[in-house]
Chains A and B, each alone.
Chain A
Amino acid sequence: MAIAEQDGNASGYAAPETNYINNGYGLKSWLLTKDHKRIAVLYMISISIFFAVGGLFAGLIRLELLTPQGDFSHSDTYNKLFTMHGVVMIFFFLVPSIPATLGNFLVPIMIGAKDLAFPRINLLSWYVYIIGGTLGVIGILAGGVDTGWTFYTPYSSTYSNSNVLIVAFAGFLAGFSSILTGLNFIVTIHTMRAPGMTWFRLPLFIWAHYATSIIMLLGTPVIAITLVLMMLERAFGFGFFDPRLGGDPVLFQHLFWFYSHPAVYIMILPSMGVMSEMIACISRKRVFGYEFVAFSSVAIAILGFLVWGHHMFLSSQSTYAGMVFSVITFLVAVPSAIKTFNWTATMYKGSIVYNTPMYYVMGYLGLFLVGGLTGLFLSNMGLDIHLHDTYFIVAHFHYIMVGGQVMGYLGGMHFWWPKISGKMYPEALGKASAVLVFLGFNLTFFPQFVLGYMGMPRRYHSYPDEFQILNVASTGGASVLALGYLLPGIYLIWSIFKGANAPQNPWGAKGLEWEVADTPPTTFNFESTPVVTEEAYQYGPIEEH
């Protein structure tokens, strides 16, 4: 990208004295900030805490499943453990993970804007998220909730004796905060692009976030109203899904999955954007078939709204409806495959650098491939009857949501860490953690495919003896995975204090955030509005310095 530069060239980079980090100290300057970069950091800290909480619940689940007997926790406690693992991880970690952190930080810089269109709404979204998170924690401390993260009626609305109301309301608030983030991104991408930054010059990260924002805007209000209906029924005895009044509990499932299936793509599309950026930079090539990768994001967002019925093949849905949903679900594989093939084609004959982000890219491609292909097993109505509600499902969505989104999150966090913190992370430890995560992840979840295929149902705290070996493997893998997640947490914080100062563009990457913005960026990102004169990813051979 040939871009107007203010002064000097890349070599002998002198960082500006004032940047967004040291421009104002004290708690107030952070908690009342309107700077998208600071809000991104606030989000980063808060979602890391929730990731740890959700991970703790996952650890307790795996501990229980170490033995066939339900000896570690009562079945009631176990129900709460998996519910709270799901609620915390989905509403408070996965949905905001990349958009609210990397997205918040990078979207304005990548398009050449000073900030998001609505900085105050951006800050509001963080506060709404924090209030929701606090309510969620209160609900957990008050005894937790046991409905499953799906809050299916009539159990949630009538029979459960746990803290459904407060936790559901926490989920409602988390959804509201993601609506605000999505709205901000859509408006910003439409109206705040720098001169010359046409739609087809946008980095693919932006396209992915645009598609994600569409889902946030169109899907999230539906889960919000669905939770409201359920809460009204539970709190006041209104009837919406109550069979005693002629209401239909399955209607709740339709409404719920109308959001929650598209939400699955909220939990994968942003990481696809991260991958496009990293693969182009690391292969020193323009992303193969840029337009196709861009439009495949939008296609996934649109198709995502038409497949909710595949969660309900066994919920009294007609065979014909099931067939339609099955076919459309298969169609989702097309844009997903376009992306995977195009990334691979980008790397083909590229000058690949094997650094930490590259390790995450390779891990991601493998895990996403397995997760995506097993999705096709499940979209097959006949096979789904066998696999429904087994560990096969659990393994499948973890491969996508954890193997996809978390790999993208961690990879992107390493890739942009120099820009965000102004420091370099230790490369050797970075690679080690990427390998640990990949091995630990596969060891945890691959056995679950086998378990599910053999018929082990999800959401039970005991199981027949013959499943034990695979469950022990899975629990062992979870320990490795935990170590892999813990490491970056430690050395990234270490690097803030002890790491080497990062140059403006350590990877020689293209894009406004690397070539024009300082490291770390100044409060308004650019001294003067940049002018873009080239398409994205115009990589040449690596320059000798």
Chain B
Amino acid sequence: MAADHVDHHEHHPHGLAHQFEDMAQQKESVLLGMWSFLITEVLFFSGYFLTYLVYRTQYPVAFAEGSHELDITMGAFNTVVLILSSLTMAMAVHKSHEGSKNGTLGYLIATFILGGVFLCVKYVEYSAKFEHGLVPGLAWHPHGEHSPQLALFFSLYFGMTGMHALHMIIGAGLLIWLLVKTAKGTYTAEYNAPIEVFGLYWHFVDIVWIFLFPLLYLLGRH
């Protein structure tokens, strides 16, 4: 039997968890972990997208009617807000690579605020739907001859945007945690994987919206 060993690390770099050999392995693992998680997220949302596809094909008129009930201005505004928040998030990752604590902190706060703006606008939109009786099951006043299928559309609208908003809220919670850690100076130019990994999650949530916006607000609208 061979008798060669791989030497133990004498020094223990800051932020390296015990199960890893070195920072490179840790970073690779953490990134692969997040990408794998995002794959499960894609499949999670795919259930909604498939349901949407099936019913949109079956009931194009009712779905076009549904699109007209949505507020395109607020939707478009929110799209811009989210794209901006992706930019600030990317900048936060960039700054953390540079080891700039204040830069990272600033961009994380900006991301948090933009996420908050998105959720507020969403709240206003949801409230309007409740007022107009467009919430299936909870506040539903029949609308014209396609009323049942319109209920399908709004079930999907609330299901899809609600699940997206839930991801935003979870993201905001994680952001607070990152902000605290950054302020404490946990992250350095060498150890910043949590910020990078969270960035991936945040961009993913944005991309979901980039699909939701045209599917729900724009399609069938002339």
Interface residues of A (CB under 8 A from B): 2-5, 108, 113-119, 121, 179, 183-184, 186-188, 190-192, 194-195, 217-222, 224-226, 228-229, 232-233, 236-240, 244-248, 251, 255, 524, 528-529, 531, 533
Q: Given A114-B19, A195-B6, decide whether A183 and B44 contact each other with a Cβ distance below 8 A.
A: no
Task: A101 to B136: give the CA distance in the assembly, Å.
Answer: 44
- Extra A-B contacts (6), CB below 8 Å, given A114-B19, A246-B55: A113-B19, A114-B18, A117-B20, A218-B43, A221-B40, A244-B148
23 residue pairs bridging A and B, Cβ less than 8 Å apart: A2-B2, A4-B3, A113-B19, A118-B29, A179-B40, A187-B33, A190-B29, A194-B6, A217-B36, A217-B40, A225-B44, A229-B51, A236-B137, A236-B138, A238-B137, A240-B152, A245-B148, A246-B58, A248-B54, A528-B5, A528-B6, A528-B8, A529-B8
Say whether A117 contacts B29, CB under 8 Å: yes
Minimum distance in angstroms from A443 CB to a CB of chain B: 41
Name the contact of B59 in the complex, choosing from A121, A246, A251 (C-beta under 8 A).
A246
Task: A4 to B3: give the CA distance in the assembly, Å.
Answer: 5
Say whether A225 contacts B36, CB under 8 Å: no
Minimum distance in angstroms from B16 CB to a CB of chain A: 12
Task: A2 to B4: give the CA distance in the assembly, Å.
Answer: 11
Q: Given A192-B19, A222-B43, A226-B47, decide whether A232 and B159 contact each other with a Cβ distance below 8 A.
A: yes
Say whether B47 contacts A218, CB under 8 Å: no
CB closest residue in chain B, given A117: B29
CB closest residue in chain B, given A113: B19
Task: A428 to B50: give the CA distance in the assembly, Å.
Answer: 55
Say whether B33 contacts A240, CB under 8 Å: no
Interface residues of B (CB under 8 A from A): 1-8, 17-21, 25, 28-29, 32-33, 36-37, 39-41, 43-48, 50-51, 54-55, 58-59, 136-138, 148-149, 151-152, 155-156, 158-159, 163
Task: A217 to B3: give the CA distance in the assembly, Å.
Answer: 39
Q: Given A119-B19, A225-B48, A531-B5, decide whether A183 and B40 contact each other with a Cβ distance below 8 A.
A: yes
Say whether A183 contacts B1, CB under 8 Å: no
Say whether A238 contacts B2, CB under 8 Å: no
Minimum distance in angstroms from A383 CB to a CB of chain B: 30
Name the contact of A183 in the complex, choosing from B36, B149, B155 (C-beta under 8 A).
B36
Say whether B44 contacts A222, CB under 8 Å: yes
Task: A183 to B4: give the CA distance in the assembly, Å.
Answer: 32
Q: Given A237-B138, A248-B54, decide whether A187 and B32 contact each other with a Cβ distance below 8 A.
A: yes
Name the contact of A115 in the complex, choosing from B7, B19, B40, B51 (C-beta under 8 A).
B19
Note all chain B residues with C-beta closer than 8 A to A217. Answer: 36, 39-40, 43
Note all chain B residues with C-beta closer than 8 A to A113. Answer: 19
CB closest residue in chain B, given A255: B47
Task: A533 to B5: give the CA distance in the assembly, Å.
Answer: 12
Note all chain A residues with C-beta closer than 8 A to B29. Answer: 117-118, 187-188, 190-192
Note all chain A residues with C-beta closer than 8 A to B19. Answer: 108, 113-117, 119, 192
Note all chain B residues with C-beta closer than 8 A to A233. Answer: 155
Q: Given A192-B29, A244-B148, decide whether A239 and B40 contact each other with a Cβ distance below 8 A.
A: no
Minimum distance in angstroms from B171 CB to a CB of chain A: 18
Q: Given A186-B36, A187-B36, A533-B2, decide whether A229 and B152 contact each other with a Cβ distance below 8 A.
A: no
Minimum distance in angstroms from A212 CB to a CB of chain B: 14
Q: Given A218-B39, A226-B47, decide whether A117 and B3 contact each other with a Cβ distance below 8 A.
A: no
Task: A244 to B41: give the CA distance in the assembly, Å.
Answer: 30
Note all chain B residues with C-beta closer than 8 A to A108. Answer: 19
Minimum distance in angstroms from B157 CB to a CB of chain A: 10
Task: A200 to B24: give the CA distance in the assembly, Å.
Answer: 23
Ranked nearest first, the 4 interchain pairs of A and B with the lowest CB-CB distance are A237-B137, A225-B47, A221-B44, A115-B19
From B33, B47, B152, residue with most partner A Cβ within 10 Å = B47
CB closest residue in chain B, given A217: B40
Say whether B155 contacts A239, CB under 8 Å: yes
Note all chain B residues with C-beta closer than 8 A to A531. Answer: 2, 4-6
Minimum distance in angstroms from A530 CB to a CB of chain B: 8
Note all chain B residues with C-beta closer than 8 A to A194. Answer: 6
Q: Given A191-B32, A240-B159, decide whether A245 and B149 contact each other with a Cβ distance below 8 A.
A: yes
Say whether B137 contacts A220, CB under 8 Å: no
Minimum distance in angstroms from A406 CB to a CB of chain B: 27
Note all chain B residues with C-beta closer than 8 A to A229. Answer: 47-48, 51, 159
Task: A119 to B5: give the CA distance in the assembly, Å.
Answer: 25
CB closest residue in chain A, given B51: A240
Note all chain B residues with C-beta closer than 8 A to A179. Answer: 40
Task: A194 to B6: give the CA distance in the assembly, Å.
Answer: 9
Say whether A191 contacts B28, CB under 8 Å: yes
Task: A224 to B40: give the CA distance in the assembly, Å.
Answer: 10
Task: A239 to B50: give the CA distance in the assembly, Å.
Answer: 15
Minimum distance in angstroms from A219 CB to a CB of chain B: 8
Say whether A237 contacts B136, CB under 8 Å: yes
CB closest residue in chain B, given A226: B47
Name the contact of A528 in the complex, choosing from B7, B44, B155 (C-beta under 8 A).
B7
Task: A246 to B151: give the CA distance in the assembly, Å.
Answer: 9
Note all chain B residues with C-beta closer than 8 A to A240. Answer: 51, 152, 155-156, 159
Note all chain B residues with C-beta closer than 8 A to A218. Answer: 39-40, 43
Note all chain B residues with C-beta closer than 8 A to A247. Answer: 55, 152
Name the contact of B148 in the complex, choosing from A187, A246, A251 (C-beta under 8 A).
A246
Say whether A221 contacts B41, CB under 8 Å: yes
CB closest residue in chain A, given B158: A238
Note all chain A residues with C-beta closer than 8 A to B37. Answer: 183
Q: Given A4-B3, A246-B55, decide whether A529 and B21 contact each other with a Cβ distance below 8 A.
A: yes
Minimum distance in angstroms from A284 CB to a CB of chain B: 18
Minimum distance in angstroms from A455 CB to a CB of chain B: 35
